[in-house]
A and B are shown apart, each in its own frame.
Chain A
């Protein structure tokens, strides 16, 4: 088996076998990201397939000093974002500004309401399940930034390159995403408790 850089070079020379090796090398990594973004195996498989096909088409533009895995993750997340926006029939909504209802400070009420916060009482397994379902309920921009930063472990700089936005935007979006996640988890947990 060749190293990724050699495989990329060969694939760039139209060696389809080399590209197949790249697929085999990176399919778990790509599929994992797809699963975190889409939340279901069928959509994840479709997304992964589309991402690799896009990568194949754009291989000529890939500079081999970069990491192929990061590059294809970038393609994956952007394919997914575009698909979401297209399917939703709307322009992306960036929730980087303060929430309109948060004039008094977003966390203030949450902090005040922490007495008896149902989240704190959740067992590990329940908590993890809630994280998964809540993540899928977030806006695509928030989900993307949380998945890339927290789940995939990319640096702020890498996330900003992958999402084509500034470092400041990544930081503020991540902060908002955490806040939205936190708020939604509490809400869901309360609803579950009341049911």
Chain B
């Protein structure tokens, strides 16, 4: 054996990968080669020293635990990560609306419902809310429009959807923290109910809503529209389905078409690009049609992840309703027009959430994650 082969055997020996014969051959070489024997001794000393480092008792700083927990506690109140998928979507949509509403583009434009396929009370429709064609409906539900052709309209406030709260970073798979508009918004309510949510898998985070132009809109509700507390369950089943596809645009159009075929409401979120381009679509569909839709959507590409969850929205729904009714009372009592306007905006966003949850109760939500190959 020459020194070069001995070098290889020494490395193997450090990991106990030598056979008896190989070990014997190495020993034979080491007996007559001082350099290689020294090298082995040195390598073994190095390994032993590293192992000893691992055996040292290292105590974490006393403050570490409290630092972590202090960090987590406010986080539970300030991010959407712990909300179940359905809630996160709705809350993110509401937060988006609040951002839009704070701009000059007009409140009502921003209050188009984030794609639950339901027409909601429109007390005073604004002239600049473009009418959206409805290509047909099925099962009594407003069918989704061609999502590929409605992107611009879907972002009526003209704000950058990428900056909307609750957007997802495809790179990290985690939701960005929502913006600063949460105070006295439904977010605050949602955040106080984290304990009923799921354990925030980053995979379940959904970007901020980009309504698919389903022609729905809401306005601040009028007097007497107080809601009655529900006493029953509000179960929502949701599925996250991630697939890789050859072409996002084709897959998106095909997915919308498949959803329309079973009367599902469609919602498209802004594309996110960071390395890979990701597009998330959200379908609300009758439970009996959900398995079929899930199956055909899976056929659009290569599925690589699926997660199902079932949640009871009732506690959050009831609390939101309480807040909503209080807002209505405050709005009716307000004498200042500016304050009244603000309260209307807030109430409208609450209403949107409540409507979305009502619409989704008993149905299945499919969050389709399309990713470029």
**A127 contacts the other chain (CB 8 A):** yes
- Rounded to whole angstroms, the CA-CA distance of A131 and B65 in the bound complex is 30
Which residue from chain B places its CB closest to the CB of A106 in the assembled complex? Answer: B7
**A45 contacts the other chain (CB 8 A):** yes
Are B201 and A49 interface neighbours, CB within 8 A? Answer: no
- With A11-B199, A14-B194 known as contacts, the answer to whether A178 contacts B7 (CB < 8 A) is no
- Rounded to whole angstroms, the CA-CA distance of A114 and B39 in the bound complex is 8
- With A16-B76, A112-B35 known as contacts, the answer to whether A105 contacts B197 (CB < 8 A) is no
**B82 contacts the other chain (CB 8 A):** yes
Within B73-97, the residues touching A (CB, 8 Å) are: 73, 75-76, 81-82
> A12-27: contact bitstring with B at CB < 8 Å (1 yes, 0 no)?
1110100110011001
Which residue from chain B places its CB closest to the CB of A30 in the assembled complex? Answer: B60
Which residues from chain B contact A19 at a C-beta distance below 8 Å? 69, 72
Which residue from chain B places its CB closest to the CB of A24 in the assembled complex? Answer: B65
Q: Within the complex, which residue of B47, B64, B195 is in contact with A48, where a contact is CB–CB below 8 Å?
A: B64
- Rounded to whole angstroms, the CA-CA distance of A107 and B58 in the bound complex is 34
Q: How far is the CB of A75 from chain B (nearest CB, A)?
A: 12
- With A16-B72, A16-B76, A19-B72 known as contacts, the answer to whether A45 contacts B64 (CB < 8 A) is yes
Which residues from chain A contact B56 at a C-beta distance below 8 Å? 32
Q: How far is the CB of A190 from chain B (nearest CB, A)?
A: 14
Are A36 and B53 interface neighbours, CB within 8 A? Answer: yes
> B31-46: contact bitstring with A at CB < 8 Å (1 yes, 0 no)?
0001110110111011
Q: How far is the CB of B260 from chain A (nearest CB, A)?
A: 32
- With A20-B69, A61-B203 known as contacts, the answer to whether A114 contacts B38 (CB < 8 A) is yes
How many chain B residues touch A (Cβ–Cβ < 8 Å)? 55
Which residues from chain A contact B47 at a C-beta distance below 8 Å? 150, 178
Within A151-176, the residues touching B (CB, 8 Å) are: 151-153, 156, 171, 174-175
Are A151 and B58 interface neighbours, CB within 8 A? Answer: no
- Rounded to whole angstroms, the CA-CA distance of A115 and B39 in the bound complex is 11
- Rounded to whole angstroms, the CA-CA distance of A41 and B58 in the bound complex is 11
Are B198 and A48 interface neighbours, CB within 8 A? Answer: no
**A6 contacts the other chain (CB 8 A):** no
**A120 contacts the other chain (CB 8 A):** yes
- With A61-B203, A120-B42 known as contacts, the answer to whether A108 contacts B3 (CB < 8 A) is yes
- With A105-B4, A106-B7, A107-B39 known as contacts, the answer to whether A131 contacts B72 (CB < 8 A) is no
Are A60 and B199 interface neighbours, CB within 8 A? Answer: yes
Q: How far is the CB of A48 from chain B (nearest CB, A)?
A: 6
- With A31-B61, A108-B3 known as contacts, the answer to whether A14 contacts B82 (CB < 8 A) is yes
- With A16-B69, A151-B50 known as contacts, the answer to whether A111 contacts B7 (CB < 8 A) is yes
Which residues from chain B contact A119 at a C-beta distance below 8 Å? 42
> B93-106: contact bitstring with A at CB < 8 Å (1 yes, 0 no)?
00000000000000
- With A23-B68, A30-B60, A114-B39 known as contacts, the answer to whether A185 contacts B46 (CB < 8 A) is yes
Which residues from chain B contact A58 at a C-beta distance below 8 Å? 200-202
Are A60 and B200 interface neighbours, CB within 8 A? Answer: yes
Q: How far is the CB of A70 from chain B (nearest CB, A)?
A: 14
**A56 contacts the other chain (CB 8 A):** yes
> A128-153: contact bitstring with B at CB < 8 Å (1 yes, 0 no)?
10011001000000000010001111
**A43 contacts the other chain (CB 8 A):** no
**B231 contacts the other chain (CB 8 A):** no
- Rounded to whole angstroms, the CA-CA distance of A97 and B201 in the bound complex is 36
26 interchain pairs, CB-CB under 8 A: A14-B196, A14-B199, A16-B73, A19-B69, A27-B68, A28-B60, A31-B61, A32-B60, A35-B58, A36-B54, A45-B64, A52-B68, A53-B75, A57-B202, A60-B204, A110-B39, A111-B39, A114-B34, A117-B38, A131-B49, A151-B51, A151-B53, A178-B43, A178-B47, A179-B11, A185-B46
